[in-house]
Amino acid sequence: MLTRGLFAILVLVGTAGNVSAQDSTVVALGLTDHQVTKDELTGAAELVAPRFNSGGVAYVLIAHAKKGDKVEVTLVKDGSALMQNVRELEADEAGLLLQAGKTGVPAGGWPEGAYTARVKVTRGGETIAEQETDAIPFE
């Protein structure tokens, strides 16, 4: 547990000679039933998967984000974007947490389907990081 915490701290603040100051790194990407904190993502907390009758939040934690980077996190259902949060950085950030989704339950619950979290980081118009989680059903 201590090792995981130390690793997360090193990833977030970087280490001289090991991590380039130019590299944006996706530290965590996923789906859960609530808004998360950096402490939850860098600690040993197990996050609960969303259900049809819970909140549904896509999250991403990025290390070494630079001024001008554009970070997009999207909650996706069956390949189509449901909710998106976009942020263009006005200053460098060692650890950027961005989330998109609903903390409440949509009327009638979440529709059946395969849900994913997707992140895209662009710098100067060029994609420098792009990932998507495995699909999960909101049971």
Task: Please report, rounded to a whole number, the percentage of residues in the chain having pLDDT higher than 70.
Answer: 84
Cβ distance 134 to 116 under 8 Å? yes
Q: Over the range 66-76, which residues count as b (16 or more CB within 10 Å of their CB) and which as e?
A: beebbbbbbbb
Q: How confident is the model at residue 17 (pLDDT cuts 50, 70, 90)?
A: very low
Give the right CATH number for 2-16+24-137 from 2.160.10.10, 3.90.1710.10, 2.60.40.10, 3.40.50.10860.
2.60.40.10
> In this predicted model, what pLDDT tens digit does every residue of 64-120 receive, in sequence order?
999 999 999 999 999 999 999 999 999 999 999 999 999 999 999 999 999 999 999
Domain layout of the chain by residue ranges: 2-16+24-137
Cβ distance 38 to 95 under 8 Å? yes
- Angle at the Cα of 96 from the Cα atoms of 92 and 97, rounded to 5 degrees: 165
* Position 102, amino acid: K
Q: How confident is the model at residue 22 (pLDDT cuts 50, 70, 90)?
A: low
E strands, 2-138, in order: 25-32, 56-65, 70-77, 80-88, 93-102, 114-123, 126-132, 136-137
Tell me the whole-structure pTM to 2 decimals.
0.83
Per DSSP, what are the bridge partners of residue 77?
80, 115
The mean predicted confidence, pLDDT, of the chain is 86
pLDDT at position 104 is 93
